[in-house]
Structure 1
Amino acid sequence: MARYTLLRLSTFFLVLIALWFCQLRGWPLLVISAVVSAVISVYALRVPRERFAAQVERRVEKKREKADAMRTAEDDD
């Protein structure tokens, strides 16, 4: 998760710097940087995002299995 977040922030700041050098300033600089970096991230960071999603899915599945085991143990009592 930390890696993906750092990649997203890096993308945002790279776009921000590029637009700043294009003489864009103020709120439009921030808004356009956020939108452009989000679009870039959708395509460029697909693999890290999918890895993170799979990691979260594994954690959820482990917790679900543990909850099912606890529920079964309670039913047996």
Structure 2
Amino acid sequence: MNISQAVIRRIEELCRERHLSINALSNISGITQSTVNDIMSGKTYNAGIGTIKKLCDGLGLSVRDFFDSELFSNLEQEIK
């Protein structure tokens, strides 16, 4: 799994836990729906840390908590 896939899965996981749709996450995070859709579809391969921070703020958790998941433990090497 690469970092983009892990971010998508983590967002999906957190939204499920909080019973939020992707649209609701967009609204509470102050991020445009198109940006969130691009992240979730994989169109945006590398979501910026500022965007991740806004998503975390909307979800009510820290960036550290966002990345504190097994999803990020065994990522593929990005530089080959």
- TM-score normalised by the chain length of structure 2: 0.31
Q: Which of the pair is proportionally richer in helix? A: 1
Bigger radius of gyration: 1
- TM-score normalised by the chain length of structure 1: 0.32
